[in-house]
Amino acid sequence: METVMPITLGQTPDAGFDEPLQLLSDCHRRIEKFLGILARIAEERRGGALGAEHREALEAALRYFKNAAPWHTRDEEDSLFPRMRQLNDRRVDGALTTLESLEADHDRVEAGHAEVDQLGRLWIERGTLQAAEIERLGQLLEQLCQVYQRHIAEEDDVIFPLAAHVLNDSQLAEVGLEMAQRRGIDPDRPAPRCRHARAKPSQQPDTEAEP
């Protein structure tokens, strides 16, 4: 008998766009969650037929990394990092190499997710994956996990705390406003779309609106 995999697809962030650094960190929790879902499905099903819950979870995770996660990259590369680089601050100067490394990580994970998406869509459409395909999927997910583990730690523990010290309230407000505009969200609304209620496993999460 197939074991049903309980998965909570949604996750409500604690912060709003008035707390952009916390919201960026909240996004890391989503990345970890959806990447974990992909890895768990690949490990449990090994390219075999997908049950309804596995299929729904796979589709949701692929959709998140294709539609929502790229916003997070733009938030950092177009809004946060440029403002930090513009400062005449020795603390930021010491972190410039780290910022460059983080941007290189973005390119690496983008390429990895593109291939994961291809294999995941093939799995959904065809119903199964061949041995070489599931092996490649496992390799890609392991590589992504390794990159994200270091990448997220550097941002959560080093870059975001640094940004909180060197950027003033006005600059942080600009970052939050750009993050909201990037998603087509009015940051002054009482309940922006990214703060929807926790989705049940049977519901499709609105991943396109996630931070």
| pLDDT per position as a tens digit, 166-201 | 999 999 999 999 999 999 988 776 444 443 333 333
CA distances to 54, 60, 138, 146, 174 from 78, in Å: 35, 26, 32, 25, 12
pLDDT at 211: 57
Structural domain contains residue 201: no
Q: Is the dihedral of CA 101, 103, 104, 108 positive or negative?
A: positive
For residues 111-115, average pLDDT? 97
Structural domain contains residue 4: no
Structural domain contains residue 111: yes
Domain total of the chain: 1
Structural domain contains residue 52: yes
Domain that holds residue 121: 20-183
Structural domain contains residue 51: yes
What are the pLDDT digits (tens) for 4-54? 444 444 455 567 899 999 999 999 999 999 999 999 999 999 989 999 999
Structural domain contains residue 194: no
The counts of H helices and E strands in the chain are: 9, 0
Structural domain contains residue 76: yes
Q: Which tokens in the block code for residue 207?
A: 């991943």
What are the pLDDT digits (tens) for 56-79? 999 999 999 999 999 999 999 999
pLDDT at 207: 46
Question: What is the crossing angle of helices 169-182 and 20-45, to 10°?
Answer: 40
More confident residue, 207 or 58: 58
Q: Is the pLDDT reported for residue 2 higher than 50?
A: no
For residues 117-123, average pLDDT? 97
Q: Is the pLDDT reported for residue 150 higher than 70?
A: yes
Find all residues with CB under 8 Å of 1, minimum gap 6, and list them. Answer: none
Structural domain contains residue 190: no
What is the CATH classification number for the domain harbouring 24?
1.20.120.520
pLDDT at 205: 40
pLDDT at 88: 86
111 pLDDT tier (thresholds 50, 70, 90):
very high
148 pLDDT tier (thresholds 50, 70, 90):
very high
User: What pTM did the predictor assign?
Assistant: 0.83
φ and ψ at residue 3, rounded to 5 degrees = -80, 125
Q: Which tokens in the block code for residue 146?
A: 């390794």
pLDDT at 56: 96
